[in-house]
Amino acid sequence: MNITLRQLKVFEAVARHLNFTRAGAELFLTQPAVSMQIKQLEEQVGQPLFEQLGKKIHLTDPGREVFRYSQAISNQLSELQNVLEEMKGLQHGRLTLALASTANYFLPTLLGVFNQRHRGVTVDIEVTNRENLLRALAANSIDFAIMGHPPDGLGLESSPFLDNPLVVLAAPDHPLAGHERIPPERLAQETFISRERGSGTRAARERFFAEHGGISFGKTMEMNSNEAIKQAVQAGLGLGVLSIHTMEVELMLNRLVTLDVAGFPIMRHWYIVHREGKRFTTIAQAFKEFVLHEAATLLNVPGPGQAITQSAQ
Ligand code: PGA
């Protein structure tokens, strides 16, 4: 069956008026043009849609079914038109984000502000590891990923919007707490609690120590959550290297301290990443601009390139 929307529209007008001439007047068509459309539709359906009894035309049983469906189709089309109109605006729509687990510490604050400005916008968020973020970008199943710098050559566009300083954290009563300019080699005697393979934080820490003489630690433990690492460090199980964003509260309450290790903080950056050439809805474009221009100020954290000082930690 090869029915066109045009045929359905003409049919619907005739079915409403039960009169070819009046339907034609409504659609600015001549009566023969209306008859032609109905004839073609009847050929496609394979059954008559109208019958003439005396001077009046009536819908046949198949005609009534076609009328029911054509009304449903027109309703759906006008609903689609409304949805598309709304999506051109800034008050409705859906944003799909995927976050590196560490980004989960600051993104809700940003979303809170964005949501106040765009009340009707729904945001879907997946918090996952770097490998899955790259997979979601490749599958084009998300609008944006918030992550550390993605690898080159994957057809991705990434823009930095926030510094991500990685610090060495310790329990406040750790023997190295309060020492100044601790040489990185000194840490070789310590137990380290590390993020899982695939974590950007872990990769950056490994690169740092590889570049500083290939230090290997006395002992390492592995945990796949920033929260678990903070708890373990607080409990005195060892040292950790995590983003400063994960431990604002613990530093304020003096449950954790950062160690002044030479070469730290390791300065990473947060990027908003999407596929090259992705066509954005108005709301997705607005979100990207919001993140790029307002995130650093709203979070009171330096933007990329603005130096972080020890006291800012
Ligand atoms: P995470 O952080 O993967 O260690 O959570 C993201 C990054 O720093 O790249």
Is 294 within 8 Å of 116 (Cβ atoms)? no
Identify the residue whose C-alpha is closest to ligand 1 atom 8.
Answer: 200
Instruction: Specify the pLDDT at position 223.
Output: 94
Mean pLDDT for back-to-back runs of 10 residues, the chain (313 residues) = 93 95 93 96 96 93 96 88 75 88 92 91 89 89 93 93 95 96 91 90 91 80 94 96 93 95 94 92 92 90 50 29
274 lines ligand 1 (CB under 6 A): no
Instruction: Specify the pLDDT at position 303.
Output: 58
Rounded to whole angstroms, the Cα distance separating 46 from 42 reads 6
Rounded to whole angstroms, the Cα distance separating 167 from 265 reads 5
Ligand 1 center from residue 130 Cα (angstroms):
7
205 lines ligand 1 (CB under 6 A): no
The burial class, CB within 10 Å (0-12 / 13-18 / 19+), for 68 is exposed
- Under the phi-then-psi rule, with left for phi > 0, alpha for psi from -120 to 50, and beta for the rest, what region is 300? left
Residue type, 230: K
Residue carrying structure tokens 């993020």? 195
Instruction: Specify the pLDDT at position 308.
Output: 39
Instruction: Specify the pLDDT at position 304.
Output: 58
Does the pTM exceed 0.75? no
238 lines ligand 1 (CB under 6 A): no
Instruction: Specify the pLDDT at position 307.
Output: 40
Ligand 1 center from residue 220 Cα (angstroms):
19
| Minimum-distance ligand 1 atom for the alpha carbon of 130 | 3
For residue 144, give the nearest of 274, 271, 285, 283 by alpha carbon: 274
158 lines ligand 1 (CB under 6 A): no
Ligand 1 center from residue 173 Cα (angstroms):
28
Instruction: Specify the pLDDT at position 302.
Output: 61
Instruction: Specify the pLDDT at position 282.
Output: 86
